[in-house]
């Protein structure tokens, strides 16, 4: 009875304690979001991030830094525009930008120590990107919307990451007007595109993995009938092997290969390459690549096998797939942040370093040789001399009255230029054309 009297006070104390713990729990989970709110006077001055370290490219060129309490970007407008999607703006418009995602590293903020920092300067971040390559890609893209990504398949380092349309981080109020065109979207990391013929590489790999004989013939008469419905091809290729079908980008061939493999087999290969799975670049969360191949009709499987149906590819993910093919099937963990270091130079953190096998070594070699033949036999090596380029182009239809997206993906086998690349030009038109030209300019820079 005596304890019943004071029950109410005990109850109050319990609720109080639980609620205060709830407050701290919430704080621990969202601390970074709260601290990075632009009115936090510890880190921001009238909305401008001022207490943050430098962001440097691989050669030590400064992309962003704080001078006298003000955040400054590179002095060249071209460099600012070419790197803004990687570096990020100060208002968090580019959600995948280093300024947003690596906020803790840059400002030295963490939940335990708060904003406390004895020298009040944050930490420096050195990126793996090559500013020259980025500006070349930005210029090569011209007025087109699109993206260029280049990755070193030996080390996993991202060398070039450009997305257009772009903006000048000094003038975000102008860019705001362009926001609906996706000016704030890093197309390489956050984009999802219909892959067009570039998906034939995945179907070919599945064939390599599952067929005992790669010399089987497939017929093409401006197309082929699958399950009673017509799949059209751009050419009348007659009889094709997998290799020649890839070289000529024959739809009939790959529709038949896909059906022969079956949806589940093709899906197994695709998922082995990372389709339908989370894609991360360091701390940055990227969009997924998506294929739907279970329980579909043969005709849809046929279309899906050559990248039409409802396949969607994230360009950065496809860049990792190209890297794995180039590197004997092993994917080096992609790296954008080379290191985080104090202003005095002590390294606090390095990213990357892990390996992951996506493809068996012999299969990767076979596929690589096939892609090499695509370049030598069909497009010729002009523009890529000495690089030993392997690749596949693609054309993705995007609607009745619009020019299709133009793709070029692949890698250089030359050990001195171990680059995997992805180039997408929105509404760039048919086939190799524009995407291939851009790739050639970037790889030769």
Partner 1 sequence: MSTVYTLYLGISRIAMPILIASLLFLWIIIFKKSKRKNEALAFMQPEFGENYGEIFSRESLVGKSHRCEVRLEKSPHKCHALITLEKDGFFVEPLNGKVAVNDEPIYDKTPISVGDFITFNKEMYRLCLPEEEDEPCKVCKGTGFMLLIFTLFQVLLCGQVYLSPNMESGYIFPASIGGMILIEWIYYIVLRVKNGHAKMFIEIPTAFLLSLGLTICYSCTPEEYVKQLVCIGVGIVGAFILRSILSGLSAVTALRYVVAVIALGLLGVNLIFGTTVYGSRNWLDLGFVSFQPSEVVKVAYIFFGGVVLSKKELSKMGIFIFLVFSALCMGTIAIMRDFGAVAIFFVTMVVLLMMRHAPLWITGGITGLAAVSAVGVITFLPYVADRFAAWTKVWQYADSLGYQQTRTIIACASGGLFGVGAGNGYLKNITAADTDLVFGIVSEEFGGIISFAMAMCFVLFAVYAVDVSKRCRSSYYAGTACAAAGMLLFQTALNIFGSVDILPLTGVTIPFVSNGGTSIISGLCILAFFKAAEVESKLPETIRRRYY
Q: Using CB under 8 A, count the residues that bind partner 1.
A: 40
Q: Which of 379, 196, 164, 378 is nearest to 304 (CA)?
A: 196
The two tokens of residue 133 are: 């390559």
Q: Kindly give, in sequence order, each residue whose CB lies less than 8 Å from that of residue 68, ignoring residues fewer than 6 positions away.
A: none
Nearer to partner 1, 75 or 344 (CB): 344
Q: Alpha-carbon dihedral of residues 319, 323, 325, 328, nearest 10 degrees?
A: -170
DSSP string, 18-78: HHHHHHHHHHHHHHHHHHTSTT-TTTEETTEE-S---EE-TT--EEEEEETTEEEE-S-HH
By a kind-dependent CB cut-off of 5 to 8 A, residue 230 interacts, out of partner 1, Zn ion, none, with none
The count of C-alpha atoms lying within 13 angstroms of the C-alpha of 70, restricted to the half-sphere facing its C-beta, is: 4
Q: Mask 220-239, x = binds Zn ion (CB under 5 A)?
A: x------------x-x-x--
By a kind-dependent CB cut-off of 5 to 8 A, residue 220 interacts, out of partner 1, Zn ion, none, with Zn ion
Q: Mask 202-221, x = binds Zn ion (CB under 5 A)?
A: ------------------x-
Minimum Å gap between C-beta 183 and partner 1 is 25
By a kind-dependent CB cut-off of 5 to 8 A, residue 24 interacts, out of partner 1, Zn ion, none, with partner 1
Distance of alpha carbon 430 from alpha carbon 334, whole angstroms:
31
The two tokens of residue 181 are: 């065109």
By a kind-dependent CB cut-off of 5 to 8 A, residue 47 interacts, out of partner 1, Zn ion, none, with none
Q: Which long-range contacts (CB under 8 A, 24 or more apart) does 34-41 make?
A: 35/103, 35/107, 35/109, 35/114, 35/115, 36/92, 36/100, 36/103, 36/107, 36/109, 38/90, 38/91, 38/92, 40/115
Q: Mask 33-72, x = binds Zn ion (CB under 5 A)?
A: ----------------------------------------
Q: With CB under 8 A as the contact rule, which of the stretches 11-19, 54-62, 235-243, 278-286 interacts with partner 1?
A: 11-19
User: According to the binding rule CB under 5 A, does residue 200 interact with Zn ion?
Assistant: no
User: According to the binding rule CB under 8 A, does residue 47 interact with partner 1?
Assistant: no
By a kind-dependent CB cut-off of 5 to 8 A, residue 35 interacts, out of partner 1, Zn ion, none, with partner 1
User: According to the binding rule CB under 8 A, does residue 343 interact with partner 1?
Assistant: no
Minimum Å gap between C-beta 36 and partner 1 is 9
Cβ(301)–Cβ(230) below 8 Å = no
Q: Which of 416, 434, 415 is nearest to 424 (CA)?
A: 434
Nearer to partner 1, 15 or 430 (CB): 15
Alpha helices in 277-415 (DSSP H): 298-305, 315-326, 361-373
Alpha helices in 275-395 (DSSP H): 298-305, 315-326, 361-373
Q: In the chain, how long is the greatest CA-to-CA distance? A: 96
Minimum Å gap between C-beta 430 and Zn ion is 15
User: According to the binding rule CB under 8 A, does residue 171 interact with partner 1?
Assistant: no
Minimum Å gap between C-beta 122 and partner 1 is 14
Angle at CA of residue 140, ends 250 and 76, nearest 5°: 155
By a kind-dependent CB cut-off of 5 to 8 A, residue 116 interacts, out of partner 1, Zn ion, none, with partner 1
Distance of alpha carbon 264 from alpha carbon 226, whole angstroms:
18
Binding to partner 1, residues 74-93 (CB under 8 A)? none
Binding to partner 1, residues 106-125 (CB under 8 A)? 109-116, 118, 120
User: According to the binding rule CB under 8 A, does residue 346 interact with partner 1?
Assistant: no
User: According to the binding rule CB under 8 A, does residue 342 interact with partner 1?
Assistant: no
Residues lying near partner 1 in the complex (CB under 8 A): 1-3, 5-10, 12-13, 16-17, 19-20, 22-24, 27, 30-32, 34-35, 37, 39-43, 109-116, 118, 120
Q: Which residues bind Zn ion (CB under 5 A)?
A: 220, 233, 235, 237, 250, 252
């Amino acid at each position: 009875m005596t304890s019943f009297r004071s029950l109410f006070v005990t109850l109050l104390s319990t609720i109080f304690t639980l609620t205060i713990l709830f407050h701290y729990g919430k704080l621990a989970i969202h601390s970074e979001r709260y601290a990075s709110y632009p009115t936090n006077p510890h880190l921001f001055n009238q909305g401008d991030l001022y207490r943050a370290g430098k962001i440097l490219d691989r050669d030590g060129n400064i992309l962003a830094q704080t001078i006298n309490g003000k955040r400054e970007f590179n002095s060249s407008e071209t460099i600012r525009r070419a790197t803004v999607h990687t570096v990020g703006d100060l208002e968090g418009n580019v959600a995948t930008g280093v300024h947003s995602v690596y906020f803790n590293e840059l400002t030295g903020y963490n939940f335990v120590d708060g904003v406390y920092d004895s020298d009040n300067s944050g930490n420096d971040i050195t990126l793996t990107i090559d500013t020259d390559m980025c500006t070349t890609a930005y210029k090569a893209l011209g007025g087109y919307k699109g993206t260029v990504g280049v990755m070193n398949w030996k080390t996993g380092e991202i060398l070039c990451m450009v997305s257009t349309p772009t903006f000048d981080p000094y003038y975000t109020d102008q860019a705001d007007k362009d926001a609906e065109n996706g000016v704030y979207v890093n197309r390489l990391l956050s984009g999802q595109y219909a892959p067009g013929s570039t998906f034939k590489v995945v179907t070919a790999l599945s064939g390599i993995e599952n067929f005992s004989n790669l010399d089987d013939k497939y017929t093409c008469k401006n197309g082929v009938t699958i399950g009673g419905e017509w799949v059209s091809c751009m050419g009348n290729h007659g009889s094709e092997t997998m290799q020649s079908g890839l070289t000529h980008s024959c739809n009939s061939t790959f529709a038949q290969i896909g059906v022969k493999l079956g949806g589940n087999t093709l899906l197994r290969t695709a998922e082995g390459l990372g389709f339908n799975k989370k894609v991360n670049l360091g701390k940055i969360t990227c969009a997924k690549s998506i294929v739907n191949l279970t329980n579909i009709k043969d005709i849809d499987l046929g279309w899906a096998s050559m990248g039409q149906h409802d396949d969607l590819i994230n360009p950065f993910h496809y860049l990792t797939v190209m890297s794995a093919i180039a590197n004997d099937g092993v994917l080096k963990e992609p790296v954008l942040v080379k290191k985080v270091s104090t202003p005095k130079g002590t390294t606090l953190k390095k990213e990357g370093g892990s390996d992951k096998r996506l493809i068996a070594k012999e299969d990767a070699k076979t596929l690589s040789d096939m892609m090499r033949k695509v370049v030598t036999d069909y497009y010729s090596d002009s523009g890529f001399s000495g690089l030993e380029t392997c690749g596949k182009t693609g054309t993705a239809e995007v609607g009745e009255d619009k020019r299709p997206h133009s793709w070029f993906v692949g890698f250089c086998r030359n050990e001195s230029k171990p680059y995997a690349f992805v180039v997408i030009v929105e509404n760039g038109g048919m086939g190799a054309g524009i995407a291939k030209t851009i790739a050639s300019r970037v790889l030769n820079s």
